[in-house]
A and B are shown apart, each in its own frame.
Chain A
């Protein structure tokens, strides 16, 4: 306990400087906007900003504070367009539309925004505290991991991501393979031999994961939007005066706490992430409610539970990412990309060798949460105004930001063409329901995964049974197989409820 206190004060001593506070404020503000704008979510928002903040020459802690504030802010902001426009600002906010939009149509938009804002705060705050308590403990456990265990862990991440996160196992597995295959391009780390470069000098260093991320997440959105525009043109709901509905907050506090708990656990599981967190929180709340039939028709608890759930999951998802270096979701994959860009290798060593990074990050998260609560409850109208930016300005703007980010990082037009190619790949994948997150994860983890396999084989002198020689790795492999196969049987029970329809009234 004393440890925790000392660590936290170390974190706050770094994070509470005026400069860092300003960065956190800017990050929260930009993040909320990114989250609120339909089509831009935490993952592509942070992906767009990494190259830019890197070219601006921030040091590691500043960049980390700025971009994690953006991450948390986007998780908060996603609910705004869910409630007002019935378009989830990002994927995890999808469940919030179920009761949020009906509430808004009944003229209770202000109340829905406040309840969901407070729920976001409760979820994110509790999860950050959970992160503080659990991460150092998990980091100590992670010290016992050898190469064989890490290899199994990577398998677990791919398998659960494929099993839980998608509708078709073969498709998510092929996505992971595409990512891993791309990661192999470039010079082999151990032997320095060229692999799949075809003599092209641009490929010697491999394909930059930032190029792939921005292409798959942001550029593909452009194609998707041009194809689908007009189809879901939203009917905005007017927002009246925003009052704080104390009674409603009191009524929904149980839902917030339960949602936070469920979301936090879902966030820790590799491969699950915020979307599953909010989904399970909503379904859980609905199943224990006595008034089931009012869910989907504007029940405030149906807004509070998934919002608490997705924000708690966002915090929980940081635990495996920081302690093991294995992200559980698309957004944490992007944050892993950020850490790797900053030359910070997540893992147990991070906690012992660079505690200032970890603890200033945690302190920044706590500060960002309080800032976000202030921004998102009394100041919510500001963001509602920003939502009215017409898409014919927004979308070209996003595209150009993507190009500038990558261009200022690499100053090569080869990388820009590569980014467009990834955009096309992302569009096709989205069209035929192949998830793009495993591709990113494969590119990010591919080299580490191969490296661990080869080191394990060096230790065992080529004996492949070494991969299953310790109880930890056997357990991880079991969970991997289970996580990949179990959803086939569970899928019947975990059907997602449809979005409320937009009827023209």
Chain B
């Protein structure tokens, strides 16, 4: 039986078929035909590179060892897919609108096009991806060796076969992965080939499964009985591992570079997600449907000690079904090759865009002359990267020597790559996330992953057993597999728990503490609110002179023809004659996106920045940021309103306080004045009464004179006290108004006669009687008191030779106004404001008034609803008494 030779022939034939399919698909896509190449079905099938050889062979092995635990690897992605509307849709939209080329590009683009971050993610991805590639090589080699054992010729050499497999895969990836540069054109050839391989591996696994269930076990029911009777026939799953691996596979499904490549970069249409949301879980379900039966039958049929990872191959072989085994081999081969090719492509894109290109651009900057074609550099960098990554995988495989150490590396790689998750999810959903936060989080997570999982897992060579047992330098709480004393956990659960939680925590804390750059803020707004405004950020401004430089640069990257086409189209769009468009912000933005498809966002941004210089911010960008600012503004305006209110209240309080202080001072002054006013007459009364008591032999005349003085002073005191009492009653508002009706003329007649009765000097009073025919309804006695006060003041203080008082009444603006103007020198300007204050007296005390008269007048007028003011500039002392006319109307 020349199985080995046939196998090699079939393999080669299969590879040629793949080449043919990829080539044809590329041709069809280039010719614009083959709409089915962009169908959701192809998209869904290409997603199935998630199922690698590790899952193809290893799932059965895992089921044979620990029962149903293997389904967690499929359940995680299922959960991610069915929640596509909330997560993946956004990721794909962002990826398309920003033209990202890899997950490193996405992260760097989100955090202000930071290349440092991109390099970190790239390193993480390469570290996680290389062992994974080694694992695929191992599975191919192992499956080869199964056939080699059955082959009598014994020509098979393991080392050589691994080398040729690695080399062949590298060639395939280079040929189809780096044919075109623009990510927008997508790798139709590779994707179609992968879709074909997905069908093959599903078909192979289903064929083996059907053979096992119906061919060997004899139907579903006997199979179920056989399962329950087997050594794994009871539910026995570690809860921690169950949840950890589900979570981990969900995280890795999003973060793995190869998954990102097919899911986001190669995505043609967002609507494909809708189909993939149910079709891909269905694919996973079919992939895992027969895993347990195959494992159970394998355990039953094959001798103890045979490798359960290869049951998919060995079960058909042991039954003599060579063709089925061959089919299953091709299935495993498909899983391995598709995964390796896409991983190599994705990693090489990351390496060339984020490591090689920045270095190359830097060296070019130093040399003044620009030489070499960027396009070729990029392609060459990618080809070399693919070869280097494959070589790394190959050497890793040779160094680790294959075997069981590799089998666990799949999950280890998952845990490593999942460290990107906090930065990714935070970047998509939280605008506060910053570059510093992402860097710190990634570093913490990466460090913990290396320390707690990668190094202990690599055996005694790198980390000594004593460190694992007792911690570094005997510090028990730093034991790699029991960090901070958390013992008894499965190492995987332990690592995922610590690394991801501390990663997320560091990410949040550092994000909150650091301040994002303007570009970061713009990008944050673009990413988080991608459904509101899908425009590229960071607008440029440039001058026409730069268009030519841009053209030269674009030609170097995209190639001459596509670049000229692009510029021509732009020029036509702008309506410009000739081939060079104006470097408008819109054009530069499109150009940057076009270039970022080839060299990554960070590099494209830097290259255009070199030529154009400064970047400007467009109104849309500002609006995007303003969304955030608007909330802040609203909040701060609320704060401002509150603060203004507080200021107002404080001012009112201060005013009230000042008034209180003033009133208190007034009260003190008033008391002082009252005491003074009372004391003056008291002093003369006392003095004269003492004279009369102590002096003997006073004449009758003298006695009368002194008694008169005492009497006068007593009168003055009484008047003063009357006034004070009156004022206090008025001020307290306790006065009862005695409302009555009379004409103004009557009130004035009475006031004039009272005031002038017994006066020593003659005061001539001039009145205009017609205007006084106004009926009043008010407290007539009080009003009369005011008039008497004013008239007697004029009589006392008017210093004219022939004192004359003119009284006139008018109707001004609905108010009855009565003016009392004399022909004296009036009240000095500086005293005018004081005349209505208590005890205010103008000049020296001529007539011994207490200075309360006008104060009382003011109070009375306030009670009557009117006012009394001093009228300056009337030639003499002039007072105006106003009364509301409503009183008059009420009287009529």
Is A bound to B? no
Chain B interface residues toward A at CB < 8 A: none
